[in-house]
Structure 1
C-alpha cells in the first residue's frame, strides 16, 4: 500500500503538490515535515514587496483549496495525513511581514506547528465541520493567522 501511495504521489502533479513535493510521505509527523519543506519556498518569497508576497500567499491558498480537495477526492480519503499543501499556506501566512533571520523562521515554524496541532477555536471547528479542499485549507489558514498574531506581537515587543 505504501509503495503504491509513494508511486501515486511522485507521478501525479496534483498529489505531488498536495503532498508538499513529497514531504507529506514522511511516515512520522508529515505535517511537521510539510512545514519544514515550506521553508525553502518562504526563503524564495521573503524578499518580495509585501503586496507581492501577499498575492503569492493568496494564490497558494486559493490553489490549495482545489489541490487538496482534488488529491483527497482521488485518494478517497478526507484530509489524508500526507496532504500538507495546507501547511505550506499556513506557514507562509505566519511569516507575512516577519522580521528577517533564522530565529524568526524557527519561531514562526514553532508557533504555526503549535496552533496547527492545538487547534484552538475556531481552528478546531473548521477542522471538524468543513469538508473538501476548503475544510483542509481553512484550519491551517486560521492556525497561520493565530501564529502570525503572536509572531507580530513578539516582534513588536522585541
Structure 2
C-alpha cells in the first residue's frame, strides 16, 4: 500500500481498525493471510465459550456489518478492495469453522482450505470478485470462499 493511501487510515478509527483486521492488514506481505491469522483467536474463543447459535449470530453480524466496515474504509482510502482491508478474511474464517469440532488439526485444515479458496477463487467466487463492487463486493468473495472451505472441511470430517 502506498504512503498516500496509508495516510488516510487510522488504527484509532474503530472502523479502520476492524477493516484492517485489528491492524493485521498492514502487514507488508500477505495481508490476507495475516488477516486470516487474526481471526483465529476469535474462532477459538467462540468455539470454546459460545453455543452454536451464538457462534452463528456473531458470524452473521461480522459478515453483515463487514459490508459497511469494508465499504466505508475503502471509500476513505479512495481504493476499492485494497489488500489491507482484511475484515472479509475474518468473516470467511469464521464461516469456515462453523460447527467444526475444534482442534489444532481442524483449525489448520480450515485455515489452509479457506486460504486455498480465497486465493484460487474458483467460479463463482472469481466472477463475484470481478463484477460486484462496494462493501458487498469486498465481502462476498471471502464469504463464499468460507462456505466452500466449510463444505470441504465438513465432508472431510464425515469421511474420516
TM-score band, normalised by shorter chain: over 0.9
Residue deviations 1:114-155, cap 9 Å, x none? Answer: 000000111001100000000000000000000000000111
What is aligned with 2:118? Answer: 116
Gaps of 5+ in 1: none
Once residues 113 and 79 of structure 1 are traced to their aligned partners in structure 2, the CA distance between those partners, rounded to angstroms, is 17
Report the TM-score, using the length of structure 1 for normalisation.
0.96
CA drift at 1:11: 2.3
What is aligned with 1:30? Answer: 31
User: Is this contact kept in 2: 1:9–1:22, CA < 8 A?
Assistant: no
What is aligned with 1:52? Answer: 54
Figure out how many residues of one structure are paired with residues of the other and give that number.
158
Once residues 8 and 129 of structure 2 are traced to their aligned partners in structure 1, the CA distance between those partners, rounded to angstroms, is 28
Structure 1: 4+ residue segments shifted above 2 A: 1-4, 6-9
Gaps of 5+ in 2: none
Once residues 10 and 91 of structure 2 are traced to their aligned partners in structure 1, the CA distance between those partners, rounded to angstroms, is 19
What is aligned with 2:72? Answer: 70
Aligned-residue CA RMSD (Å) = 1.4
Residue deviations 1:86-135, cap 9 Å, x none? Answer: 00000000000112201100000000000000001110011000000000
CA drift at 1:3: 8.7
